[in-house]
Amino acid sequence: MSKKELEKIPIETIRLQTDPFYNECRAYGRLIECDVNGKVAVRCHGHIAIPATREEELNRRFEVYAWDRPEDDSELSVSKRQPFRAIVKDLIEDDRPLNEKKLIRMRKDLLKMHKFGVYPQDVQERNYGGGLLLDFSIAITKPHWVFETKRSWWIRIMINNDMNMLQEMILESGVKTWQRAVRNREYCMKLRGCPDGKERERRNRKYVSR
């Protein structure tokens, strides 16, 4: 895309598509549209606005102090500040460690999200509960300005980044499994050096999940 074409993208579009709240809204809007709300990620029930007058209560109950308010908003009296925007989701209290069954599901769910045009971009264990993704605050959901402005190689890296992060999570979990989020390049290179018969035999080998 030329500089002239890039300048045609409204600043407001870029701002809204990089705002954490709207990132969540756009991602869940697509999941709801595809009838997978609560199936590939934690279920979303909508959003609410919480008056700023409850800020002190939220600080006390949940120890949340960084609200990222604009400087001019922070200088206002509490009663005149903008309300908090919040996404309402199911409460997941499953803190059991990862296992092979969860990892298999997480990979399938991530591939489904990609199919629907949702790219979470923050695939970390801290963002999962009960095997379900909990956070879309930096997600990129089609249509999005990056698909109109970035080169194809950048888009491929962005899309593959989710799977690479999941693969790193699998390795760090210590779970014994044949499940992989990305191909084992070293193993693939070994296959290329095998005689045709053995290569075909290895490719057809199936591993049964325990």
Q: Which of 27, 3, 49 is nearest to 140 (CA)?
A: 27
pLDDT at residue 187, rounded to an integer? 54
pLDDT tens digit sequence for 162-202: 999 999 999 998 888 877 887 766 555 555 555 544 544 55
Q: How far apart are CA 164 and CA 192, in angstroms?
A: 23
Looking up tokens 């325990």 gives 210
Residue 29 amino acid letter: G
pLDDT in tens, 33-69: 999 999 999 999 999 988 888 877 888 887 776 666 7
Which segments of 11-50 does DSSP mark as H helices, in order? 11-16, 20-33
Is pTM, for the whole model, over 0.85?
no
